[in-house]
Structure 1
């Protein structure tokens, strides 16, 4: 069993988009659980839309847990699944910290801007605290919502490397296909119209499950 947590203390970085795409791709292979631990419950909304609109596609079982329940209830729940993805954060909270204690692998989606760089200090402080209790936590940064027309991503990479952070090779660009897919309870694969979005998600998946 592998437990992933998609976390950040900053909103608007594509955290839920990352979590649901990862959960669906894992569900294609084996029984998977998606835990929505974000108070906004965006992943749960996506799952509800998926049940209404997507028929027969592989889907993770989705549950909502908050605060300490992410670890106290999430841990026994996880035993019935091969893979687990937790979507948590949007701010520093008991839920985010619980997700980091439960997880083996933390993925931190980060935008390529100065605001994102400043906010990263907050989430890494929380990660460092979690590692006191979960020392084997593997943490990777995923650059998301990248505008390929600018050099912002390159500048952000320089900053991340200067902080000695492990950054995934894959970058997820800002694409309409992601917003459309989430609103339809789908993935970009299922929408099927943006091959660049599909290839980015597939590359991300291959990196994290390698």
Structure 2
């Protein structure tokens, strides 16, 4: 069994979007459960239209359902405390920290990674909502994280309206209708998910 937890210290960094698409990728390898541990219940709302290919349950039902699945993705609540962070690290194979390249998000992330380094947890940073060229925000954010010797992933997720359509339609982004960028958006998550699986000790 592989357990991947997605967490963030700031809202609006595509945390739930990342959890949903990691689950979609893993479900193609083996049956996957997405545990919705966010009080906003964004993943459950996404799944409520019946278009996701995997099972989504609230955190309170995780123990009951987890035995039926080979992989588990956990979408956590935002802004975990130090104690919650310790529990998250201890309860998964890999912690994924999405962040967009904005200064406020990076500052919040740096606070998170400082706490993680004290815990000795295994984690990876995923750059999300990266604006298209000619913007250099993504490159500058990657350079900053690399300079801090933080484990930033090679893959990144481009900013596109396809993800908003996916949530509205209740489907993974690869099933979005009428979006020219949907295939590229899914390709981004395929690359990221393959990298995450390898980092967690599995094989894609």
Q: Structure 2 vs 1, CA of residues 9 and 89 (structure 1 numbering), >3 Å: closer, same or farther?
A: farther
Corresponding residue of 2:147: 162
Task: Give the number of equivalent residue pairs.
Answer: 193
Corresponding residue of 2:55: 61
Name the SS of the counterpart of 1:119 in structure 2: helix
TM-score, length-normalised on structure 1?
0.83
Corresponding residue of 1:91: 79
Residues 109-128 of structure 1 aligned to structure 2 (within 5 Å): 109-128=98-117
Q: Structure 2 vs 1, CA of residues 98 and 36 (structure 1 numbering), >3 Å: closer, same or farther?
A: farther
The CA deviation at 1:202 is: 1.7
Deviation string 1:116-159 (CA, Å, 9 cap, x unpaired) is: 1211123224434554xxxxx42111100001231111111111
The CA deviation at 1:189 is: 0.8
Corresponding residue of 1:134: none
Residues 191-206 of structure 1 aligned to structure 2 (within 5 Å): 191=176, 193=179, 194=181, 195-206=183-194
- Whether 1:104 aligns to 2:93 is yes
Name the SS of the counterpart of 1:159 in structure 2: helix
- Whether 1:141 aligns to 2:125 is yes
Moved more, 117-126 or 26-35: 117-126
- 2:175 corresponds to which of 173, 179, 190: 190
TM-score, length-normalised on structure 2?
0.85
Q: Which runs of no fewer than 5 residues in structure 1 stay unpaired? A: 132-136
